[in-house]
Structure formats: structure tokens, C-alpha cells
């Protein structure tokens, strides 16, 4: 409507507001953890004073459609974080450290996934478990991996669908293993997810395991036929 009125030379200003720091019916369902998660992404709550400043600026803007948010630009530009997709064109972030590290993986003995896959089974599971707990702690804003009980359900730890997707994204970045969007629900504890990932790292490329009657009976190349 604002765009339509503006197109016809009529006054109109529409503001899509970001998160405010005052309680309201719209934000009553957000926990402190939710607010911290947005802050780690570079989106800060808007104070009442700041909101009034934005409102005044909106009224003098020639644009009919505006989005109002208080952004932490240094955080958005951090190489250790990924800006929300909607904001990536607004900031020029440096290369992620992970990408830079990947370029030198051959000099350091291979990627994390290659090094971990070469470990004995017990060490592989322990290493993957450490990765999962550290990633969960980072996503949920916990003190560290020691704060994450390996047998406690992700939901109990405070993870929801959004943080579950963030956990999946970070794990895929490191391991290279394709995970479905429902990974944290299919494998609902750090131990279950670690066991799944460790199994994926252990499977030789191009081989498929044949299971019949509950037992493995053969392993074939991916190009073999029934």
C-alpha cells in the first residue's frame, strides 16, 4: 500500500521494525537465549530512544518502504560468523578463516574430515563428539563444550529449529557430510549425532553397504548393479 501510494505521489511510509528491547505481546515468547542468538548474528534489540531516532529518520526518508534494525556491523563482518542471508549484501565480510584454512589443508596433512576418518574408531568417535559439543556450545552461547552433556537431548539443552539449522550448517562446513535439515531431530543428542557423523566419515567413498536380515553381507562399489 505504501509503495502504491508513493507511486501516485501520495504520502506513505511503511516501517518493518526489528526486535525492540522492551517487552511486548510480539516478543513475549522470546527467551534470553533467543535474544543472545540474534546478537551473535549482529542484530541488536532496539532501545526506545534509538527507536524514536529511527522513526524520525524514516519520516524524512524519500523511500516508502523501510526496514528498521540496530545492526552490530563489526560482528556482521567477523570472519568467524556468517551474516543472515538478508544482510549479506549490506556488509563486506573478510574471507572466513575456515575457507583460508581449507586452502592449506594439503600442507597440514589433509582436511579435518580426512584426518578424522583416518583415526581408529574410538578416537574418531571421540573427536567427532568434541566437535559436536563445541559447536552446540557456540550455537547456544554456552560457556564451552564442557557445558554440553553428551546424552542430553538437544531440545532440553535449549535448541530450537533455528539453532538446529545453524548447528547443521556449521557441522557440514567442517565435516563435509551432507545432513538433512532435520538432522538434530533425527539424531536428538550430541552422542547420537556424533555416532552418525563418525559412521559417515568411516564409510569408504564409492562403496555401499548391503544389509540383509539385519546383518551386513557385502560392500559394493557405487557403480555395481543389483
Domain count, the chain: 2
pTM value is: 0.54
* 75-120 per-position pLDDT tens digit: 777 665 556 667 767 776 554 444 444 444 444 557 888 889 889 9
Of the candidates 183, 225, 175, the residue with the CA atom closest to the CA atom of residue 202: 175
**Does residue 87 form part of some domain?**
no
In a domain, 9, yes or no: yes
Quote the domain boundaries for residue 164: 109-221
Residue 27 confidence (pLDDT) above 80: no
The confidence score (pLDDT) of residue 188 equals 93
Percent of the chain with pLDDT over 70: 77
Residues 121 and 199 in one domain: yes
Residue 99 contacts by C-beta under 8 Å, 6 or more apart in sequence?
none
Query: Could you tell me the three cell numbers for 165?
Result: 539449522
- Looking only at the bridges linking them, the beta strands covering 215-221 and 207-212 are antiparallel
Residues 113 and 212 in one domain: yes
Q: Are residues 113 and 202 in the same domain?
A: yes
Residues 195 and 125 in one domain: yes
Please report, for the domain that includes residue 116, its CATH number: 1.10.1200.10
Clarify whether residues 194 and 151 are in a common domain.
yes
Band (pLDDT 50/70/90 cuts) for residue 123 is: very high
Same domain, 65 and 163: no
How far is Cα 105 from Cα 90, in angstroms, rounded to an integer?
31
Amino acid at each position: 500500500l505504501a509503495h502504491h501510494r508513493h507511486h501516485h505521489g501520495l504520502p506513505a511510509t511503511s516501517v518493518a521494525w526489528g526486535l525492540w528491547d522492551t517487552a511486548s505481546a510480539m516478543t513475549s515468547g522470546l527467551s534470553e537465549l533467543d535474544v543472545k542468538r540474534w546478537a551473535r548474528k549482529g542484530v541488536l534489540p532496539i532501545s526506545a530512544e534509538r527507536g524514536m531516532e529511527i522513526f524520525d529518520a524514516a519520516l524524512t526518508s524519500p523511500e516508502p518502504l523501510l526496514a528498521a534494525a540496530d545492526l552490530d556491523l563489526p560482528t556482521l563482518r567477523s570472519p568467524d560468523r556468517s551474516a543472515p542471508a538478508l544482510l549479506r549484501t549490506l556488509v563486506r565480510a573478510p574471507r572466513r578463516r575456515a575457507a583460508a584454512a581449507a586452502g592449506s589443508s594439503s600442507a597440514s596433512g589433509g582436511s579435518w574430515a580426512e584426518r578424522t576418518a583416518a583415526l581408529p574408531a574410538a578416537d574418531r568417535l571421540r573427536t567427532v563428539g568434541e566437535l559436536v559439543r563445541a559447536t552446540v556450545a557456540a550455537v547456544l552461547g554456552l560457556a564451552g563444550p564442557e557445558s554440553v552433556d553428551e546424552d542430553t537431548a538437544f531440545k532440553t539443552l535449549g535448541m530450537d529449529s533455528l539453532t538446529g539449522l545453524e548447528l547443521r550448517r556449521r557441522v557440514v562446513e567442517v565435516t563435509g557430510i551432507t545432513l538433512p535439515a532435520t538432522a538434530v531431530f533425527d539424531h536428538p543428542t550430541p552422542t547420537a549425532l556424533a555416532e552418525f557423523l563418525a559412521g559417515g566419515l568411516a564409510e569408504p567413498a564409492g562403496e555401499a553397504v548391503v544389509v540383509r536380515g539385519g546383518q551386513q553381507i557385502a560392500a559394493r562399489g557405487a557403480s555395481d548393479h543389483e
